[in-house]
């Protein structure tokens, strides 16, 4: 039953995430927000909601390691698995704004999370507020940069189906309801299944969280990226994946900690998992610049997939 709960929960999170993204984009277009605002804020937040609900539920029910490992594992999967798999299928071109602003912000907020947790093994309420405020500042600067023109091509930041703009308010509300109910049900089943599976296999909740749960909550990003590559659509923007990681820490862990402080129970979360998350984030910069500037091709994608497999091996061994 544990495996059934887990798979059913992941399926509901995928469905709920898809409907929530559609409804969020449709509402944003109704209010005539720019594509960069939609792609880097509305969509990023919507795709982070599965992690948010899972983390809040896990923390409230006394499973803090599941709340932390879910986010840390998802951030590792977003870059190493999603970016790696997509780059193998089609080259990903990187804009200067990514390695001059987005990647440094991602590394900074990741380092700050590590410092907060290492200090007293607890992510306190005030620390959650700090992480959330960094996210708010990031969004403000991002929007300000786009309003100044900058070098960002709004059309390439997020592939948005223009037909969504024609959707009626009634249809958008139905999507919102379906997405919300599916996300709620999925988070319930996923947390229940993850806890029961950990007990059945005799492993820690952290192991299940950084592997199965993390991959499950990253499936929407993986599916969207692979489909985009197979359809030979415009280059996938690395900024969206980076934005998702920033949202995961700033909104998911930030909001969860504001509701209830998150305690570290398994020391490997700090000694292994966060170190991997930082390493995979930091090497994005040299990979973006060397040897071929501003491009992540198949061999760099293969390196990331190899690193992800190695990471999973260190988790389960």
pLDDT, one tens digit per residue, over 55-75 is 888 888 888 888 899 899 999
Architecture of domain 2-316: Up-down Bundle (1.20)
Q: Residues 79, 72: contact at Cβ < 8 Å?
A: no
DSSP 203: -
- What is the percent of the chain with per-residue pLDDT over 70, rounded to a whole number? 79
pLDDT per position as a tens digit, 207-246: 888 888 888 777 766 766 665 556 554 444 566 678 889 9
Q: How far apart are CA 97 and CA 99, in angstroms?
A: 6
Arithmetic mean of pLDDT, 184-210: 82
Q: Residues 205, 69: contact at Cβ < 8 Å?
A: yes
Residue 87 pLDDT level (bands cut at 50, 70, 90): confident
pLDDT per position as a tens digit, 128-142: 999 999 999 998 887
- pLDDT at position 153 is 41
Q: How far apart are CA 128 and CA 122, in angstroms?
A: 10
Residue ranges covered by each domain of the chain: 2-316
- pLDDT at position 152 is 40
Q: What is the pTM of this model?
A: 0.82
**Between residues 213 and 148, the one the model is more confident about:** 213
Q: What is the DSSP track for 5-32?
A: HHHHHHHHHHHHHHHHHHHHHHHHHHTT
Beta strand 262-263 with 92-93 is: unpaired
Q: How far apart are CA 163 and CA 305, in angstroms?
A: 35
From the DSSP assignment, how many helices (H) and strands (E) are in the chain?
18, 4
Res 196 pLDDT > 80: yes
**Between residues 121 and 228, the one the model is more confident about:** 121
**Between residues 209 and 26, the one the model is more confident about:** 209
pLDDT per position as a tens digit, 150-185: 444 434 334 455 566 567 778 878 887 887 788 778
Least confident of 112-121, 198-207, 275-284: 198-207
Which range has highest mean pLDDT (19-28, 123-132, 237-246)? 123-132
């Amino acid at each position: 039953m544990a495996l059934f709960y887990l798979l059913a929960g992941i399926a509901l999170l995928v469905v709920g995430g898809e409907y929530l993204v559609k409804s969020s984009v449709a509402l944003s277009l109704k209010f005539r927000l720019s594509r960069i605002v939609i792609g880097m804020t509305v969509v990023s937040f919507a795709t982070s909601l599965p992690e948010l609900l899972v983390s809040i539920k896990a923390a409230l029910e006394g499973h803090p390691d599941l709340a932390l490992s879910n986010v840390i594992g998802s951030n590792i999967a977003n870059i190493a698995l999603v970016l790696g798999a997509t780059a193998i299928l089609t080259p990903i071109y990187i804009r200067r704004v990514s390695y001059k602003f987005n990647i440094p912000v991602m590394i900074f907020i990741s380092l700050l999370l590590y410092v907060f947790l290492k200090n007293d093994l607890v992510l306190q309420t005030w620390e959650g507020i700090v992480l959330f405020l960094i996210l708010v500042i990031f969004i403000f600067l991002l929007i300000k940069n786009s309003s100044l023109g900058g070098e960002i091509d709004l059309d390439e930041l997020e592939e948005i189906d223009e037909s969504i703009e024609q959707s009626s308010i009634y249809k958008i509300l139905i999507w919102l309801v379906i997405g919300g109910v599916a996300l709620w049900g999925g988070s319930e089943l996923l947390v229940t299944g993850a806890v029961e599976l950990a007990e059945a296999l005799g492993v820690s909740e952290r192991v299940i969280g950084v592997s199965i749960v993390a991959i499950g909550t990253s499936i929407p990003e993986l599916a969207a990226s692979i489909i985009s590559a197979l359809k030979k659509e415009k280059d996938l923007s690395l900024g969206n994946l980076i934005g998702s990681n920033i949202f995961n820490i700033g909104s998911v862990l930030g909001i969860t900690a504001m509701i209830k402080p998150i305690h570290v129970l398994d020391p490997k979360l700090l000694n292994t998992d966060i170190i991997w998350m930082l390493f995979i984030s930091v090497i994005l910069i040299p990979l973006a610049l060397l040897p071929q500037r501003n491009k992540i091709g198949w061999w760099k994608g293969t390196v990331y997939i190899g690193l992800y497999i190695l990471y999973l091996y260190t988790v389960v061994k």
